Amino acid sequence: MDKKLKIGVLASGRGTNLQAMIDGIQRGELSAEIAIVISDNRDAMALERARKANIPTVYVKPGKKSEFEREVINILEENNAELIVLAGFMRILSPNFVNHFPLKIINIHPSLLPSFPGLEAQRQAIEYGVKITGCTVHFVNEMVDAGPIILQEAVPVYDDDTVESLSDRILEKEHKILVEAVRIFSENKLKVIGRRVFIDKTGSDKCL
């Protein structure tokens, strides 16, 4: 039997992207196991979604950044996490944290990076007047929303869009490409050269 990729998920809110991964695993689309879900929000719906799927959860109380991150790192290592997925995690990770897991942390962002990084990307897109936006799965590096891009999906912006309506359409695509990105990572099909991420069709190359 193939070894399943162990995933650690960091989440702060509703956890819909976490649910997409749970559903992907249950459908057999992902050869992976969510080993732990960690949240900085005791009341995060993500924790409840994990518990319903019998996934271990931990709430880590926010405090001094270095101490908070050290505790999260310890939990991830104790659970042998091989990939860390930021699924609506509302904290910026320090360079120390990122460098502890090089090319092992991925994030989902609701825009076509490098356009509209940071908070309220959907509002930024509407106010800027773009006709196309979307979502991006990328590796996390020391800069905010600036790591090598793994997958992107475009979403049209309609004249009557609100932040909510646009967010809902983008979220549907987020669920799709996050599961796909985790799948290709788990199958060792990603190769990173500089800023570029290549998907290897043979699966012979691992992340570099």
- pTM of the model as a whole: 0.93
Query: What CATH number is attached to the domain comprising 76?
Result: 3.40.50.170
Q: 133: which 2 tokens? A: 């936006």
Q: How far is CA 115 from the centre of its chain?
A: 18
Residues 91 and 143 in one domain: no
β 57-59/32-39 pair status: parallel
Domain stop point among 101, 134, 168? 101
Domain stop point among 72, 101, 130? 101
Residues sharing a CB contact under 8 Å with residue 42, sequence separation 6 or more, in sequence order: 59, 61
Residues 20 and 97 in one domain: yes
Cis peptide before 95 (omega within 30 of 0): no
Per residue in 146-182, pLDDT tens? Answer: 999 999 999 999 999 999 999 999 999 999 999 999 9
Residues 87 and 18 in one domain: yes
Number of domains in the chain: 2
User: What's the pLDDT score for residue 206?
Assistant: 47
Domain stop point among 78, 101, 124? 101
Residues 122 and 200 in one domain: yes
Average pLDDT, the chain: 95
Residues tagged active-site: 109
Residue 202 predicted with pLDDT over 80: no
* % of the chain beyond a pLDDT of 90: 94
Mean pLDDT of 66-74: 98
Q: Which domain holds residue 68?
A: 1-101
Mean pLDDT of 19-35: 96
Residues 94 and 8 in one domain: yes
Mean pLDDT of 93-106: 97
- Spell out the alpha helix ranges (H) of the chain: 16-26, 45-52, 65-78, 95-100, 121-128, 163-186
Nearest to 148 by CA among 204, 88, 98: 98
Q: 18: which 2 tokens? A: 């976490």
Q: Measure Cα distances from 187 to 30, 83, 180, 206 in Å.
A: 9, 12, 11, 9
